[in-house]
Copies of this chain bind each other. A is one copy, B any other.
Amino acid sequence: MPTTPTVLAIDLGGTTVKAGLVSGVGDVLYQNKLPTLPDKGPDVVIGQIEAALRDVMEKGAFPSLSAIGIGAPGVVDDAGVVKAPPNLKGWDEVHLAEELSERFPGFKVVVENDANVAAIAESKFGAGKQFSEFLFVIWGTGVGGGIILENKIFRGPSGGAGEIGHISIDHQGPACNCGSRGCIEAYIGQRYLSQRTVEKLNAGATSSLPDLVGGDLTKIEPVYLAQAAQAGDSFSKGVLVEAGTLLGVAIAAVMNTLDLRISIIGGGVSAAGDFVLEAIEESVRRHVLKPLRPGIRVLEATQGNAAGLLGAAGLVL
């Protein structure tokens, strides 16, 4: 029997719904996984969430606290309304907290944006445990983030805080999907970074990357860049160092604005190796004001795939 309180946690993704029983010290005592069925509309998806939770309560254990924490894509407002998550069909505005409160009477239900949830996971259980203030950055398909201030997530007035992917590092830079120019995401988000890599290869760069994707450059993704770099490919390493250096410029803007020193980097690309984190750190240090420099640190997130469940639990623990 766990000696700390336990709660229910949901990690709602575009592909799978994960549910878990999580203890107050961050142990996932039981977990399961169901398909999200994202094309079938909110009712079906909420049904999957409910089924996953009921399974935990039957096969796992009933939580000691009547509380459910949920991480969801999209913008989540203070009332637990999920707005326009990119991968869920028909979710313009879904009052997820209310829906689950009705299905689980007596339970406290808290819903939060998934990047914020991952930031909370690092804050409570991961690389951020020792810091009361830091910026969490998720670098994968896009670039997102969460801001921890005084050990709590800073949501902003309407829950949209932490969108650091759309900080422009060059007002005349490449066009971004968001309508602005030079957003850091438009340099280092998965699609953009892959494109830039292919352009460089087409321009004649020497690399082991093409072999990794069987010669089909359209298959190039940051994960292969990481793999090739780890195997010693200096071209791939160079591309990632350049990307990290650019990310550092955007992070520095946040450090200067909020008087912060610590960044924790999660998402697929951050795992490529220490050289990427070092490139980010050096760049942040170069671009912040002098009084901040000695304290600048860029750390790797430690919670990986578990961050979704752990952070969701952290919402109600």
Contact = CB atoms under 8 A, between A and B. Distances in A.
Interface of A: 75, 83, 132-133, 147, 154-164, 166-173, 178-182, 246, 249-250, 252-254, 256-261, 286-292
B170 A170 contact: yes
Nearest to A261: B157
Given A160-B291, A168-B253, A259 B155 contact: yes
Given A171-B169, A257-B147, A160 B289 contact: yes
Contacts of A169: 168-171
Given A180-B252, A252-B180, A292-B160, A168 B257 contact: no
B254 A290 contact: no
Contacts of A161: 257-259
Nearest to A163: B256
Contact of A260 (B157, B168, B171, B173): B157
A75 B289 CA distance: 12
26 contacts: A83-B291, A132-B157, A133-B157, A147-B258, A156-B258, A157-B260, A157-B261, A159-B259, A160-B289, A162-B257, A164-B257, A166-B288, A167-B253, A168-B252, A168-B287, A169-B170, A171-B249, A171-B287, A178-B290, A180-B252, A180-B286, A180-B287, A180-B288, A181-B287, A250-B253, A253-B257
Given A168-B252, A171-B249, A259 B157 contact: yes
